[in-house]
Homo-oligomer: A and B are copies of this chain.
């Protein structure tokens, strides 16, 4: 398994669909995951450490899990089938029992960011889906452009020209 971090939340301008960019801690490779609008909002709010006046659905999920004494050990994006990514949330109850809960990657990431839970990708999914980070191949100007693009711009971005094609189907909500 590879631990990854949420490097950016972008919008694929060709499909007008949000994309989460998960970067491998130990290389310059990234895995793009296409997600739904509501989940993108939930992830964006967590990334920006914003707080809404009212709890959003993932905030409520966090509160209810913590109220019941639950903790998340990790979330793992562990399968891709028919262009849809699958994830498993490892949920620990107050007695130390760990349960594997089937989830979409988008929900898993939205919760992991809120609960400071590590995010992993299985080697198999990584091998199938990872692409090079563009700043390892471009010249200095390209690198700079990409840095700004991933760190500052949470809005509509010309994403595909940077990462090229990917096995994930943009029409699927992961």
Q: Which residues of A contact B (CB under 8 A)?
A: 36-39, 42, 53-58, 60-61, 63-65, 67-70, 84, 86, 89, 91, 93-94, 99, 101-104, 107, 173-174
Contact = CB atoms under 8 A, between A and B. Distances in A.
B55 A104 contact: yes
A60 B107 contact: yes
Contact of A101 (B58, B63, B84, B173): B63
A93 B94 CA distance: 11
25 contacts: A39-B57, A53-B84, A54-B86, A54-B174, A55-B102, A55-B103, A55-B104, A57-B57, A60-B61, A60-B104, A61-B61, A61-B64, A63-B102, A64-B64, A64-B70, A64-B89, A64-B91, A64-B101, A65-B65, A65-B68, A67-B91, A67-B93, A68-B70, A68-B93, A69-B93
